[in-house]
Amino acid sequence: MTPQPSQRLVENSPPLFHLQGPGLNLTFGPRVLIMGILNVTPDSFSDGGLFLKTDDAIRRAEALVEEGADLIDVGGESSRPGADPVPAEEEIRRVVPVIEHLSKRLSVPISIDTSKAGVALRAIAAGARIINDISALRFDPEMAPLAAETGAPVVLMHMQGTPKEMQARPVYTDVVREITAFFKSRIRFAERSGIARDRILLDPGIGFGKTTEHNLEILARLSEFRSLGRPVLIGPSRKSFIGRVLDLPAAERLEGTAAAVAAGILHGASIVRVHDVRAMVRVARMVEAIERFRHD
C-alpha cells in the first residue's frame, strides 16, 4: 500500500502555478511539465537538419507527445554558441507550416522559440500559445507590445551577450544573484509593457553566456529563484557543460541530462525543456515521488 504524504509534506511541495492565455490553461508545480524540443533548423548543436522538412517535424512532434511531452517548443533559428542570426522571413518559412499542422493535430500547447516579434506574430496566428524569448524581450522592441496585445505568456530567459559571442568570456561576480537581478528588471519591464505577471515564466539560460561552473552553480542554487514567485524553466538537455564534465559528445549525454534534470526538479524547476522526452518524463515522475517525502 502506498503511504499517503502527511500535511507537513504537502506543505513542503513546490508552489502551484496556473498559466492561462488564449487557448491555454496549464497547471503545474508539484507535477513538473516536460517541454519537448523541436528544432526545424539546419544547424542546431544536437539535432540540426533532422527535422527541417515539415513532414519530418510533424512526425517528430507527434512522437514527443506520445512519449509524454506536455508542451512542444518549436524553433527556427539556432541559438547555439557562435550561431549567426537568421532573417525573420526564413525563420517564418521554417516554423509557420509546422505550427499550422501541429496546432490542428496535437493535444498539447505549442510555444514558439524566437526573439523576433514578426515571427512570434505569425506563429501565434498559426496556433502557437507561448512565446519563448531567449532575449527576455530585449532584442526586438515590438516583442513586448505583441505579447501584451495577444495575451500570450512569455518565457524570459537570461543570456549574457548574444549567441554569436556569448561563450567568448562569460564573467560574473555571483551568477545566481546577477541573474536574479536581471529577472527582477525584466519582470518590471514586462509588467510596464502590459504583460500580466501571472503570464511570465523565467529561464536562467543554462549554456547561454555561462561557463561549466556557472551552469553547475545555477542548478545547485536554482531554489533561490523561487523568491521571484514565478515558475522556472530549465533547459540543460545535451548541453556542452554536460559534455565537459563527462567528456562525452552530444549524442551520449542522456545520463548527464537526466542528472541535471533531476537536480533541477529537486531545486524547484517547474518545466524542463528536453530532447529525450520519454526518459525525462520517467526521471521527473521518479523525482516527484521521492520529493513528496522530503523534510525541509
pLDDT in tens, 6-34: 333 344 456 789 998 999 999 988 799 99
Q: What's the rounded Cα separation, in Å, for the pair 60 and 38?
A: 7
Instruction: Tell me the pLDDT tens digit for each residue of 119-156.
Output: 999 999 999 999 999 999 999 999 999 999 999 999 99
Helix (H, G, I), strand (E, B) or coil at 90: helix
Local confidence band at 261 (pLDDT 50, 70, 90 cut-offs):
very high
**What residues are annotated to the active site?**
239, 273
Q: What is the mean pLDDT of residues 59-85?
A: 90
Q: What is the mean pLDDT of residues 221-234?
A: 96
Superfamily of domain 32-77+87-291: Dihydropteroate synthase-like (3.20.20.20)
Q: What is the mean pLDDT of residues 170-182?
A: 96
- Who contacts 282 (Cβ-Cβ below 8 Å, separation ≥6)? none
Q: What's the rounded Cα separation, in Å, for the pair 2 and 151?
A: 42
Q: What's the rounded Cα separation, in Å, for the pair 142 and 232?
A: 24
Q: What is the mean pLDDT of residues 151-169?
A: 89
pLDDT of 296 strictly over 60: no
Structure-model confidence comparison of residues 7 and 199, the more confident one? 199
* The three grid cell numbers given for residue 194, joined into one nine-digit string: 502590459
Mean pLDDT score of the chain, rounded to an integer? 90
pLDDT of 243 strictly over 70: yes
pLDDT of 66 strictly over 60: yes
Q: How many residues does the chain have?
A: 296
Q: What is the mean pLDDT of residues 266-270?
A: 95
**Percentage of the chain with pLDDT > 90?**
79
pLDDT of 4 strictly over 70: no
Helix (H) or strand (E) holding 214: helix 212-220
Structure-model confidence comparison of residues 37 and 15, the more confident one? 37
Q: Can you give the pLDDT at residue 49? A: 55
Backbone φ and ψ for 54, nearest 5 degrees, come out as -55, -45
Q: What's the rounded Cα separation, in Å, for the pair 184 and 228?
A: 8
Q: Can you give the pLDDT at residue 9? A: 39
Q: What is the mean pLDDT of residues 40-48?
A: 64
Helix (H) or strand (E) holding 203: strand 200-203
Q: What's the rounded Cα separation, in Å, for the pair 257 and 243?
A: 10
